[in-house]
Amino acid sequence: MVDRPIALEPVTILRGARVQVDALRAGRVIVGVCLGGLALAAGLLFWSGAHKNAQIDALRQHGVAVQDRVGGCLGQLGGSGSNAAGYTCTGTFSLDGQRYTETIPGSTLLAPGATIRIVAVPGDPPLIATAPQVASERPSGSVFVLPTVFLGVLVLVLGATVLRRQAIPPGQ
């Protein structure tokens, strides 16, 4: 028996079609999509952090203490669905002569009909928090750490790309 080299050519061609991929171009597209996603993520995280800090400021500076009457609670199931992971309760409160029904922050089971003290912002009634939450929350610069890291990585990769392009002689 004679050993023959294995052929590296395709055994057959599907309907005469061949696919040729420019690896350099595909790589550029993939890197571009990744950088675009990184820029989008950084922008959304910056916006989200600023929005969260603004909500904390609004609750602390303009919040009004009101009584919220618990309407009812629903259990949240965790993991496999066999154990309770917390509760979502809704309550009704009055602010500026209007009645509002909103989800009460937290995951504690509250008795229907019980009243709890919450802080609401006039002009933005869905923005509510319990009094202990408002007392313990502070606007923080730490919400901007991750988007800053993302932005730094984006700048470094873009800078490296520009330097690489400048180092490559034209026509190559």
- Residue 24's pLDDT is 83
**pLDDT means over runs of 10, the chain (172 residues):** 62 65 86 93 96 94 94 86 85 92 92 94 89 91 95 92 79 59
Q: Tell me whether residue 81 is in a domain.
A: yes
Listed as own residue / partner, the contacts of 70-78 with beta carbons closer than 8 Å and 24 or more positions apart are: 70/104, 70/110, 70/111, 70/112, 70/113, 70/114, 70/115, 70/116, 71/101, 71/112, 72/112, 73/109, 73/110, 73/112, 75/109, 76/107
- Residue 172's pLDDT is 58
Do both 119 and 148 map to the same domain?
Answer: no
- Residue 79's pLDDT is 76
- Provide the number of structural domains found in the chain: 2
Q: Tell me whether residue 2 is in a domain.
A: no
- Residue 80's pLDDT is 75
Q: Tell me whether residue 15 is in a domain.
A: no
Do both 80 and 132 map to the same domain?
Answer: yes
- Residue 146's pLDDT is 95
Find out whether 121 and 62 touch, Cβ atoms under 8 Å. Answer: yes
Do both 34 and 85 map to the same domain?
Answer: no
Q: Tell me whether residue 11 is in a domain.
A: no
Do both 132 and 148 map to the same domain?
Answer: no
Domain boundaries, position 171: 22-62+140-172
Do both 51 and 107 map to the same domain?
Answer: no
pLDDT digits (tens, 9 = 90+) for 86-100: 899 999 999 988 999
Do both 68 and 129 map to the same domain?
Answer: yes
Q: Tell me whether residue 12 is in a domain.
A: no
pLDDT digits (tens, 9 = 90+) for 130-155: 989 999 999 999 999 999 999 999 99
Q: Tell me whether residue 3 is in a domain.
A: no
